Amino acid sequence: MKRRIFLTGLAAAGTVIGAGRAIAHPPKTLPDYNLPEEMLPRIVPVVAGLAPYEIHIDPNQFALYWTLPGDMAMRYVVGVGRPGLYEAGEFYIGAKKEWPSWTPTPDMIQRDPEAYAKFADGQQGGLNNPLGARALYLFTPERGDTFLRIHGTNDPSTLARRVSNGCARLVNDQMVDLYDRVPLNTRVVLYPPQG
């Protein structure tokens, strides 16, 4: 992520509608993903009344909003879950992990054994790990860990698309920025997709 933050007063910029082990030697620096300006984080206005310091994900805009005081938010471009795997609802951050390991869920292995069975025992954290540099783990009071994550990725081509097994992803440097802002127990709202 370029270290610039763009201020905009344009509502068209986007508004909100309505267990791992660390790697032994994490990379010292993250790649520069050279994203176009419109995919960089920016401060935008949001609908009035959203509480500050929450995460709101609008899958229709491929946008994650970290709400701020004064009806503003930091907007990040994300990839979201594929149709049938995206889960709308209200969650909270139940765990945070740096360079998390990853293990596919049994459902993922059953859906695509060729892609996921080889990782049934897990994959150590690192840039090429599907959870990337950081992960925020989504929980509910009823279910505990939902196995949904907000996480990093080393593949910017997966942004602004419905690509994942239900999670939301940001490029790693933007994920590190978000991770540093978000405390445990933060409220997270995933809005339903349209159409």
**Annotation marks residue 56 as catalytic:** no
The single residue of 77, 167, 171, 178 carrying the catalytic annotation is: 167
**Annotation marks residue 16 as catalytic:** no
Secondary structure in 3-state letters for 140-189:
ECCCEEEEEEEEEECCHHHCCCEEECCCEEEEHHHHHHHHHHCCCCCEEE
Rounded Cα–Cα distance for residues 153 and 190 (Å): 19
The single residue of 75, 134, 151, 169 carrying the catalytic annotation is: 151
Q: Strand (E) positions, 59-130?
A: 63-68, 72-77, 80-81, 89-98
Q: Catalytic residues, which ones?
A: 151, 167
